[in-house]
């Protein structure tokens, strides 16, 4: 994963002053880095019986789709309000630079599903905690949580539910 890490760039003061944004688009555009991300994710979840991969808008859609394809699982998007066309359930949460709300289709997950929720970066954890709670409200058999990058100094893992099995490919 050192190669992937070398392809991630820092953007200073984005989306607001004082934030150092970890931009994974530079890793995603590199074929070797994208393949390494996909291969590592598949290795982690190949034998877990995953039936659905939930990707968080928008960068969680990229590797989440790669993972779903590789596992022969369905892909479920979690989006900002008003972006999903059918009935949804929603949750609001605090993030590192404001408040936000996410939604998922109300019929996206069943009690028979084994789910991995994927996002690109774990910062303060608010988005993933909200996504986890949305998915949990649908009573799947099991939920896994995954990130490509974890920013340990922000402590986001601490606000995720204790029962969540959390993995990150790269930590800073």
Report the catalytic residues: 59, 96
Work out the angle between the directed axes of helices 31-45 and 60-71 (0-180°, nearest 10): 60
Asked if 23 contacts 5 with a C-beta cutoff of 8 angstroms, the reply is no
The token duo for 139 is 């009573």
3-state DSSP helix/strand/coil % of the chain, to nearest 5: 30, 35, 35
Q: Is 94 exposed, middle or buried (0-12, 13-18, 19+ CB in 10 A)?
A: middle
Neighbours of 22 (CB within 10 A): 21
């Amino acid at each position: 994963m050192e190669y992937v890490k070398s392809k991630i760039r820092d953007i200073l003061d984005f989306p607001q002053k004082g934030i150092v944004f970890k931009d994974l688009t530079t890793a995603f555009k590199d074929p070797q880095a994208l393949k390494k991300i996909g291969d590592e994710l598949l290795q982690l979840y190949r034998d877990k019986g995953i039936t659905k991969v939930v990707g968080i808008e928008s960068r969680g859609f990229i590797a989440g789709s790669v993972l779903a394809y590789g596992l022969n699982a369905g892909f479920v998007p979690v989006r900002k309000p008003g972006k999903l066309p059918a009935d949804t359930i929603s949750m609001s949460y605090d993030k590192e630079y404001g408040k936000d709300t996410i939604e998922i289709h109300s019929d996206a997950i069943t009690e028979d599903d084994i789910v991995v929720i994927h996002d690109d970066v774990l910062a303060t954890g608010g988005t993933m905690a909200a996504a986890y709670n949305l998915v949990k409200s649908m009573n799947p058999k099991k939920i896994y949580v995954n990130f490509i990058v974890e920013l340990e100094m922000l402590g986001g893992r601490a606000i995720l539910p204790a029962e969540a099995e959390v993995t990150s490919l790269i930590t800073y």
